[in-house]
Amino acid sequence: MIDYIKGEITELNPTYVVVETAGVGYFINIALPTYSALNGKKTCKLFVYEAIREDAYNLFGFLNQVERELFLLLISVSGIGPNTGRMIMSSYEAVEIQQMIATGNAVALNSIKGIGPKTAQRIIIDLKDKIIKLNIDSDLDLSTQPPHHLSVETRQEAVSALVMLGFSTNIAQKAVDSVLKAQPDIHVEQLIKLALKNI
């Protein structure tokens, strides 16, 4: 079992990063906050979850062990797989997810794409006691990161991320364009988060 991967970042996108170590490049699926934290860095250390199926072997990476534990708790809930877990962690910061579950905020969870009312309630019932034990601190201050001014590349990056999360190109483009009309200078991570809420 792989606990973590540490190495050089050779490719970085909102939904994945390629980390090279010992001559091997690992394709690691990530959530938006992780992408934001890795932006501008040349190396990284990501704690890994291995999703192994008969037809696929996927790696999911996290900035620390607590975020990975949160992810593992989410996918332990019936009906939530790794991709849905990543969708949840892309929609909100880890500390926000912890607060939603701890306070029983089913409405906020239900606003996440792919999470219906029953699943939201199931998350709260299954995880409320467990989630309180997690000590999640958000040390990522987006205001200190360089602004991503609107460009063709920014729009394409956001659309590409949504497509990789499972949405059609047409739906992704409409959601992204809707956000950009109101906030043309938005950071790419926030652009994707708001687009997710509009889909």
**Per-residue confidence (pLDDT) for residue 136, from 0 to 100:** 61
Token pair in block for residue 117 = 């009312």
Higher per-residue confidence, 42 vs 111: 42
Interval 60-85: pLDDT, tens:
999 999 899 999 999 999 989 999 99
How do 16-21 and 43-53 pair as beta strands? unpaired
Pairwise CA distance, residues 79 & 19, whole Å: 30
Count of C-beta atoms within a 10 Å radius of residue 164: 15
Q: Which sequence spans correspond to the domains of the chain?
A: 4-62, 65-132, 147-198
Superfamily of domain 4-62: Nucleic acid-binding proteins (2.40.50.140)
Interval 140-184: pLDDT, tens:
333 334 344 445 677 888 888 888 888 888 888 888 888 888 888
> Domain 147-198 belongs to what architecture?
Orthogonal Bundle (1.10)
The CATH code of domain 65-132 reads 1.10.150.20
